[in-house]
Amino acid sequence: MAVAAVHAGGIADHIHPEPQGFVRRYVFSLDHKIIGVQYLITAFVFFMLAGLLAEAIRTQLLNPNGGFVAADTYNEIYSIHGSTMVWLVIIPMLTGGFGNLIFPVQIGARDVAFPWLNMLSFWIFPVSGLMLFSSFLLGAPTAGWMEYPPVSLQGAAGTSMWAAAIFLVGVSSTMTGLNFLVTILKMRAPGMTFTRMPLFVWGQFATAPLLMIATTALAAALAALFINRVFGVPFFDPAKGGSPVMWQHMFWFYSHPAVYIMIIPAFGIISEVLPTFARKPIFGYKLIAFSSAAIALLGFMVWAHHMFTSGLAPFLQLPFMILTYVIGVPTGIKIFSWTATLFRGKIHYTTAMLFAIGFVGLFTIGGITGIFLAAIPFDLHVHGTYFIVAHLHYVLVGGSLMGVFAGMYYWFPKMSGRMLNETLGKWHFWLFFIGFNLTFLPMHWLGMEGMPREVATYDPQFAFWNRFASFSSYLMTFAILIFFVNVIWSIRNGRRAGANPWGARTLEWQVPSPPHYYNFKHIPTVYGLPYDFSQPLPYKGLDEELTDSPPHVAAGAH
């Protein structure tokens, strides 16, 4: 409170006028909310493209002999599908997208610490995306999103383009990480201590250092691959004394933390949605917050569990196995806490809530199979098979993407001022949930029985479940079409949201939808955690009392 008293006055004045031209307002905007929306729109465009590539993959695999596209084209398709979904969809949506859009308002800041850097981060992102897709013109990379040398050294010219594009999008990520970290450290409203921060902010706070530190290792690896391919310096070429396994170390030193970059912000989204619609405080706030930090830290110590078959010294593998098991503990704590949050709640089944509960159910499957894969003897069996494909999609689709959808239904009113249609939303959820499980569950036993990943044709004994998965994947795609229809329809025709349609308690819901330019004329003071529904809101000094909207959610949603 003493802190609050010192800061409460005197910082209301320094606000630049809102830019008026269309270009400065919506194109080269410095406003974190506009940049967040730009990120989301761009990432959803890439999501559509990569989704089409996914359907091309499933269509090829309808038959054991393929026949939809040639093997070389197929290899290009899944490589770009994976690269796009990781670097141009999930990471930008969860960090640049929802991160930009929401967390500065949640901590009571007027913008991020470095708005110009933020604008630069964003504009690098579509450029690198265009570069990535233009690699199709040169012959796209074919060795998957991991591009292990030496086979990636043999790849067509587009592989160098790929390396350059991913390098660039990595630069963008690094800058975003720096920006968010400084913002959270230095720009919290008076009274917003670390243990009062909303859990979505904690998610971004745990992710930002990962973005900064891990991405630089990827940048080094990509630069070396590019130099090897273009200038012939044989970093990874064993015929000239290079080490191909070195690439794997550098790649996974980034890409394992990247897994957490792709899931910890989604944890944060879920931790906001669950208490709001259960009308209950999140269970075990502190443990959820600290376990995010623990996961982020441990995430740097387990990269070689992706390399148990790569010829590492056997005794070096053991610590990686055990440390990976250890990550199961903080992750389990989160899952238990989310489940306990529902206990004795008053649960409102909005679409956002359905996605959040679905997230817990599906991510847990991905988490448990992750422990399976950490066990070296079992990994030596299923590494490089469809079991891995199943596991990673349970984490990245059942986890991250369900989190993205929960966030979209939850925060769409805040970004647009209108509600998404709940009926379409429920169709979206149920068809997606069923289609997803039917697509990816069979891949577990396909992999265990002997189907390798990254193949354009396969043994006829696997035909039935592949066809089953392919048809189910069309259901998923149909569900996503419903989502896009919903968004496009609701932007113009959705019900007006008002400031706080969900009756939520974090700061972003205490300002109008969308928030004013610069969010707060006066920075409010924070007096407690946002999650106790029995208490008055823990904020003082809000610009206006928002009495315009009774919560929509209470009216008949059940």
Q: Which has the closest alpha carbon to 214: 303, 341, 149, 103?
A: 303
Write down the least CB distance from residue 167 to other proteins, Å. Answer: 21
Write down the least CB distance from residue 300 to other proteins, Å. Answer: 19
Classify residue 311 by burial, with Cβ atoms within 10 Å: 0-12, 13-18, 19+. Answer: exposed
Write down the least CB distance from residue 315 to other proteins, Å. Answer: 9
Write down the least CB distance from residue 242 to other proteins, Å. Answer: 8
349 part of the interface to other proteins, by CB under 8 A: yes
Restricting to residues 135-194, name those near other proteins by CB under 8 A.
142-144, 148-151, 154
Write down the least CB distance from residue 141 to other proteins, Å. Answer: 11
Q: Which lies closer to other proteins via its Cβ, residue 532 or residue 543?
A: 532
Write down the least CB distance from residue 402 to other proteins, Å. Answer: 14
Write down the least CB distance from residue 353 to other proteins, Å. Answer: 9
543 part of the interface to other proteins, by CB under 8 A: no
440 part of the interface to other proteins, by CB under 8 A: no
509 part of the interface to other proteins, by CB under 8 A: no
Indicate the residue type of 543: D
359 part of the interface to other proteins, by CB under 8 A: no
Classify residue 344 by burial, with Cβ atoms within 10 Å: 0-12, 13-18, 19+. Answer: exposed
Q: Which residues pair with 452 in a beta bridge?
A: 385
User: Binding mask 451-490 vs other proteins (x if CB under 8 A, - otherwise)?
Assistant: -xxxxxxxx-------------------------------
Q: Which residues pair with 525 in a beta bridge?
A: 540
Q: Which lies closer to other proteins via its Cβ, residue 65 or residue 134?
A: 65
Distance CA 265, CA 280 (A): 21
Restricting to residues 251-290, name those near other proteins by CB under 8 A.
278-281, 283-287
Q: Which lies closer to other proteins via its Cβ, residue 199 or residue 357?
A: 357
Residue 518, C-beta contacts closer than 8 angstroms, at least 6 positions apart: 15, 16, 18, 110, 111
Write down the least CB distance from residue 91 to other proteins, Å. Answer: 23
Contact by Cβ (8 Å): 145, 83? yes
Q: Which residues pair with 526 in a beta bridge?
A: 539
Q: Where are the alpha helices (DSSP H) in 450-557?
A: 463-493
Q: Which lies closer to other proteins via its Cβ, residue 382 or residue 469?
A: 382
* Span interacting with other proteins, options 8-16, 119-127, 317-325, 394-402, rule CB under 8 A: 317-325
Distance CA 253, CA 305 (A): 11
Distance CA 404, CA 352 (A): 10
Binding residue for other proteins, selected from 345, 417, 512, 528, defined by CB under 8 A = 345
321 part of the interface to other proteins, by CB under 8 A: yes
Write down the least CB distance from residue 483 to other proteins, Å. Answer: 22
549 part of the interface to other proteins, by CB under 8 A: no
Binding residue for other proteins, selected from 14, 186, 492, 558, defined by CB under 8 A = 558
Write down the least CB distance from residue 546 to other proteins, Å. Answer: 16
Q: Which lies closer to other proteins via its Cβ, residue 411 or residue 531?
A: 531
Q: Which lies closer to other proteins via its Cβ, residue 38 or residue 369?
A: 369
17 part of the interface to other proteins, by CB under 8 A: no
Q: Which has the closest alpha carbon to 98: 249, 221, 203, 206?
A: 203
Sign of CA dihedral 141, 143, 147, 153: negative
Q: Kindly calculate the radius of gyration of the chain based on its CA atoms and give it in whole angstroms.
A: 23
Angle at 415 between CA 414 and CA 416, to 5 degrees: 100
Restricting to residues 83-102, name those near other proteins by CB under 8 A.
none
Indicate the residue type of 273: V
- What's the maximum distance between 2 C-alpha atoms anywhere in the chain? 73
550 part of the interface to other proteins, by CB under 8 A: yes
Binding residue for other proteins, selected from 377, 493, 545, 547, defined by CB under 8 A = 377
Binding residue for other proteins, selected from 117, 293, 333, 438, defined by CB under 8 A = 333
Write down the least CB distance from residue 273 to other proteins, Å. Answer: 14
394 part of the interface to other proteins, by CB under 8 A: no
Sign of CA dihedral 338, 343, 346, 347: positive
Indicate the residue type of 287: L
Q: What is the 8-class DSSP label of residue 461?
A: G
- Bridge-based pairing of strands 525-526 and 539-540 is antiparallel
Restricting to residues 28-67, name those near other proteins by CB under 8 A.
66
Indicate the residue type of 3: V
537 part of the interface to other proteins, by CB under 8 A: no
Write down the least CB distance from residue 279 to other proteins, Å. Answer: 4
* Span interacting with other proteins, options 165-173, 180-188, 479-487, 548-556, rule CB under 8 A: 548-556
Classify residue 17 by burial, with Cβ atoms within 10 Å: 0-12, 13-18, 19+. Answer: exposed
Q: Which lies closer to other proteins via its Cβ, residue 59 or residue 477?
A: 59
232 part of the interface to other proteins, by CB under 8 A: no
Q: Which lies closer to other proteins via its Cβ, residue 16 or residue 381?
A: 381
Q: Which residues pair with 385 in a beta bridge?
A: 452
Residue 540's H or E segment, with its range, is strand 539-540
Write down the least CB distance from residue 343 to other proteins, Å. Answer: 5
Angle at 21 between CA 15 and CA 116, to 5 degrees: 55
Binding residue for other proteins, selected from 256, 383, 391, 393, defined by CB under 8 A = 383
226 part of the interface to other proteins, by CB under 8 A: no
Q: Which residues pair with 177 in a beta bridge?
A: none
Write down the least CB distance from residue 19 to other proteins, Å. Answer: 40
Contact by Cβ (8 Å): 249, 303? yes
